Structure 1
């Protein structure tokens, strides 16, 4: 009987060893937070235009001819450089200079740094309305990208098409984190007008939603460091191999135990 107890204890110990470590579980304790606490963590964020951003700006109106001066023709040339070809309107791009300005046809220099896409569009519509009735301005940010580095499933640079992205969205785009990643000390590196800023975020803690590093900005770098003891975490293939090995060991121990009990009972008889 004691052997059965030892076998059961061994099985429980092995199963506990296979359980997920606590430091890989996201948002621990979030179910215990009150609605008021969750509301305090909520934050709104909209991408602001900064220097070196590349903007695509297109002006439309009921009378297309009226907005032609604001959409200068852009041409591409054939391989021989002889025949000009009309290019797509998406090539109406404007680079924000170090002072935060763009140089736009007819309107001249416009300060756009610190404004959202919608605010830039509204500002330009007001300026263009002096020349065109009811203009509509569409502004797109073309070079919004982030870089994921370190202990990431798919590290690299990612182009963002939305106005807003969180560090959780970025981790999801990069294929989530392996078990060897340190989820408690993720580094966000940001360039704010030439000044480097760093933030540390812990995605196991619901307080991440209130962190200034939760929402990412243009050209942010997210670095995930490995845990100090990688042996505590395993990749998916390692876990499958370990579970297979443990199953084999348990089966072998069970067979050996049964044989020992049978032999002991036969000797007693």
Structure 2
């Protein structure tokens, strides 16, 4: 009878621990089971050009010769002895300086800092129209990247293929959180004009979907800290290694003392 009681109690404890674990890893727990739910005002974010951004700017038109002066020849930047084995050319980029400026052919210095990509496209199209009929200006931010660190399956730097990346997109590109990631306290680190900003998110709540920081900016860093289970395992492992080392030292010392004692008795 006692054995059956112990088995029943163990089963209850096991099921309870499984339920707790599921609750800890489920995203957006406060959403109900309706097919369509409105969480609040949608977040509208468009990244703006900032210092150290690398811009790819291409001007095209009906007359290739007329737009040629606005396009710097493509360069591969190969070191001596290296060979470009791919057929894809390396696009020339314009680095935005600390004053938010770029130096563009014919037009000279342009103040681009703080502008969106579409705003800069419109401005340059109007300026170039004075030289070329119906120009087409294509602009891309080439170095839009974020870093995802901590308890994710593929930590590292994520290269953004477009100018709109959400926290969920970045975590998905990093392979999602591991089972040991703390989903209630994800840290965002952002460099804002030389000042560091810190913001925290709870992935188990749908409120994060309407946060003004839901969409990431260039060079943002996401850090997923370990949960209590991971911290406990690390502490146990460290203490276990220390205890094993201490026990080995004590056993070695006792062995030496025993050997000395035997040697004295023999004499």
Q: Same fold (TM over 0.5)?
A: yes
> Is the aligned partner of 1:38 residue 2:39?
yes
**Contact 1:27–1:204 under 8 Å retained in 2:** yes
Q: Give the deviation of 1:13 after TM superposition.
A: 3.4
In structure 2, relative to structure 1, the CA distance for the partners of 1:155 and 1:131 (3 Å cut) is same
Structure 1 residue runs of 5 or longer lacking an equivalent are 82-86, 234-269
The one-character-per-residue Cα deviations of 1:134-169 (angstroms, maximum 9, x if unpaired) are 000000111011111112211111111111111111
**Contact 1:55–1:139 under 8 Å retained in 2:** yes
Bigger shift: residues 204-213 or 131-140: 204-213
State TM-score, norm by structure 2: 0.76
Q: Give the deviation of 1:230 after TM superposition.
A: 2.6
Q: Aligned runs of 1:120-131 on 2, under 5 Å? A: 120-131=120-131
Q: Aligned runs of 1:1-269 on 2, under 5 Å? A: 7-8=7-8, 10-19=10-19, 20-31=21-32, 38-40=39-41, 42-75=42-75, 90-230=90-230
**Contact 1:191–1:197 under 8 Å retained in 2:** yes
Structure 2 residue runs of 5 or longer lacking an equivalent are 82-86, 234-267
State TM-score, norm by structure 1: 0.75
**Contact 1:58–1:89 under 8 Å retained in 2:** no
SS at match of 1:162: coil
In structure 2, relative to structure 1, the CA distance for the partners of 1:76 and 1:32 (3 Å cut) is closer
The one-character-per-residue Cα deviations of 1:21-52 (angstroms, maximum 9, x if unpaired) are 42221101112799785232x21112211110
The one-character-per-residue Cα deviations of 1:87-137 (angstroms, maximum 9, x if unpaired) are 977523100011111110001111111122222111100100011010000
Counterparts of 1:2 and 1:221 in 2: how far apart (Å)? 55
Counterparts of 2:144 and 2:138 in 1: how far apart (Å)? 17
**Contact 2:208–2:214 under 8 Å retained in 1:** yes
Aligned residues: 228
Counterparts of 1:166 and 1:77 in 2: how far apart (Å)? 33
The one-character-per-residue Cα deviations of 1:214-237 (angstroms, maximum 9, x if unpaired) are 11100001111111343789xxxx
Q: Give the deviation of 1:212 after TM superposition.
A: 2.6
Counterparts of 1:186 and 1:231 in 2: how far apart (Å)? 16
In structure 2, relative to structure 1, the CA distance for the partners of 1:6 and 1:177 (3 Å cut) is same
